[in-house]
Amino acid sequence: MWFEGISGRGSGLGRITRGGDGNEAIDDRLFNAERDAGFHERDMSAFERERIDLEHRVNRMEAELEALRQRRLEAYARWWNARDDRDRALHVCRKLRRRVDRARRRGGEEEG
């Protein structure tokens, strides 16, 4: 694991502390670890800003998607209503055509 080297087992830490400059080596490792933590903290801040930005973009896109879905439903409703109106008009046309045809047949019979 990443922290095994800190315990003194399997790392140079146990051996260094017994030596004369153990404190300097520990100070160096501490400095490096703190510097690494700072780098990671900076990276985390950048990633958090990116995550927040993406969250806002996703929310905007979801709202736009919802608006588009609503418009799609409204367009379909308009299409359906126009289809019903067309079918009604065609029905009226058929009825009137039959009436005209009957009237012409009757009119033709009377003339003959």
Q: pLDDT tens for residues 68-86? A: 999 999 999 999 999 999 9
- Rg of the chain on CA atoms, in Å: 42
User: What distance in Å separates the CA atoms of residue 67 and residue 59, rounded to the nearest whole number?
Assistant: 12
Q: What is the mean pLDDT of residues 82-111?
A: 92
Domain that includes residue 28, residue range = 4-111
User: What distance in Å separates the CA atoms of residue 55 and residue 40, rounded to the nearest whole number?
Assistant: 22
Contact 37, 43 (CB under 8 A): no
Count how many domains the chain has. Answer: 1
In degrees rounded to 5, what are phi and psi of residue 26?
-65, -40
* Predicted TM-score (pTM) above 0.75: no
Written as six digits, the tokens of 21 are 């400059």
pLDDT by residue (tens digit) across 13-66? Answer: 444 445 557 789 999 999 999 999 999 999 999 999 999 999 999 999 999 999
User: What distance in Å separates the CA atoms of residue 61 and residue 11, rounded to the nearest whole number?
Assistant: 51
User: What distance in Å separates the CA atoms of residue 79 and residue 26, rounded to the nearest whole number?
Assistant: 77
